[in-house]
């Protein structure tokens, strides 16, 4: 089954996709409306090794004018589970409607 995953952060990086999914994901540009981006410090060694970044973006509720650009990817349910393992406890996965009208999974602040 194909799932849609919206990424605004490190899941867009080729090295993170290869390490997490074993392939590069196919996607298209989209945006999440009503959310805004902050930063969170990552301390998990495996996530730091994959992303190469200590601070990652994280989403918090915003207002109707807020918009976060990103990519929506087609993933399998197994790849979605791999994304769950990659994301640290600061994040939770929710379903959200994108600017395009598509509903996708997205990681937001827990």
Write down the mean pLDDT value for the chain.
95
Question: For 57-79, how does the pLDDT look when each residue is reduced to its tens digit (9 = 90+)?
Answer: 999 999 999 999 999 999 999 99
Question: For 36-60, how does the pLDDT look when each residue is reduced to its tens digit (9 = 90+)?
Answer: 999 989 898 998 888 999 899 999 9
Structural domains of the chain in order of their starting residue, each with its CATH number: 2-109 (3.10.490.10)
Q: pTM of this prediction?
A: 0.90
Residue 48: the pLDDT is: 86
Give dist(CA 24, CA 26) in Å, integer: 7
Strand ranges for the chain from DSSP E:
2-7, 27-33, 35-41, 55-61, 67-76, 91-97, 103-109
In the structure, how many helices (H) and strands (E) does the chain have? 3, 7
Q: How confident is the model at residue 95 (pLDDT cuts 50, 70, 90)?
A: very high
């Amino acid at each position: 089954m194909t799932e849609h995953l919206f990424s605004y952060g490190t899941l867009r990086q080729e090295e993170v996709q290869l390490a997490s999914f074993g392939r590069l994901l196919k996607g298209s540009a989209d945006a999440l409306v009503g959310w805004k981006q902050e930063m969170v410090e990552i301390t998990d060694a495996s996530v730091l090794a994959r992303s190469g970044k200590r601070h990652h973006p994280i989403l918090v509720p915003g207002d109707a004018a807020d918009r976060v650009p990103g990519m929506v990817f087609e993933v399998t349910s197994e790849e979605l589970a791999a994304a769950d393992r990659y994301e640290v406890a600061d994040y939770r996965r929710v379903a959200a409607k994108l600017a395009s009208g598509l509903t996708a999974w997205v990681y937001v602040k827990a």
